[in-house]
Amino acid sequence: MRIRYENLDGVENNHSYKAMSQWRKERRSKVKDLTIQIPQSEEKEIEVLQNNREKASITWIGHSTFLIQLDGLNILTDPVWAKWQGTDRRLTNPGIAIEELPEIDIVVISHGHYDHLDFGSIRRLKGNPTYYVPHGLKRLFVKKGYSKTIEANWWDSFDNQNLKITFVPAQHWTRRSLFDTNSSHWGGWMLEEVPSGQSIYFVGDTGYFRGFKEMAERFHSINYVLMPIGAYEPEWFMKISHINPEDAVKAFRELKATTFIPMHYGAYRLADDTGPEALGRLFSEWERLNLSKGQLCVLNIGGTLWLDAD
């Protein structure tokens, strides 16, 4: 019998067929401008990234996919270069072509939804990476031929060179077929470089939940937060599993982190909001709370933040 994983406090994403029908009806009545999209970076540093094994960097490839370079390692989060999600075509091209990546050492997976776990993309990666995946997914990875797979439950930690890699909670759900709902876990990943104390928190896919406060207690210094802000509309339907921009800012403040880097917007139309709408709400909330502009780092697609330059 398969384990069925749960959120903190037993929070469930369990919408009825009636609710699904209501959302589809609402979507048909909405007119959204999809001609304006998140821009590509005008200064992509592909050759530098290919040869870099010294400096720390974060490059947004799109959606929840980042190339992170830390401790001389090339790390990918949720590598998805897919042109389609179901019947919807990708709205923005990945910031770096998969063929232009350096050899990958580590891949971290937040959960099994197809916009976060795409084996078509994984097959095309250079190198022989170690895959860190939520509990319940290792069997699928091994079946696909990826034996260097490490499975994690919440709060499990692993060492890779000078990196400490910890799987942390999120509020979400997962499914890859009609019969495997919540049969694997979901979460985010905390990457900590032990000598320097540099830390990057890849939040994964989540609704707002009390876990952010707990993470602030467990990790006393969080530098960079890769935070989702999109796929929240209609909020009555999406709120449990997808955080909106205002709650993303609230979560960032509860984390007591240094730098907010938004993600999970602008690549796929997974809900009714658009990428520019999500970004606009983020900017408005940041201004309303009079937060430091220096703490918000919005990357264009393919843009790189060099951490050593801070």
Partners of 259 in the β-ladder:
224
Q: What is the pLDDT of residue 165?
A: 98
DSSP per residue, 136-161: T-HHHHHHTT---EEEE-TT-EEEET
Report the mean per-residue pLDDT for the chain.
Answer: 96
The pLDDT tens digits for 22-65 are 988 888 888 898 899 999 999 999 999 999 999 999 999 999 99
Instruction: Determine the Cα–Cα distance for residues 211 and 262; give it in Å rounded to an integer.
Output: 19
Please write the tens of the pLDDT for every residue from 175-191. 999 999 999 999 999 99
Q: What is the pLDDT of residues 252-271, one digit of tens each?
A: 999 999 999 999 999 999 99
What is the structure's pLDDT at 230?
A: 98
Handedness of CA 22, 23, 28, 31 (dihedral sign): positive
Over residues 192-220, mean pLDDT:
96
Q: Residue 310's pLDDT is what?
A: 45
Q: Which domains does the chain have, with CATH numbers?
A: 46-302 (3.60.15.10)
Quote the pTM value.
0.97
Q: Is 134 helix (H, G, I), strand (E, B) or coil?
A: strand
- The torsion angles phi and psi of 290, rounded to 5 degrees, stand at 55, 45
Burial 80-95 (b: 16+ CB within 10 A, else e): bbbeebeeeebbbbbb
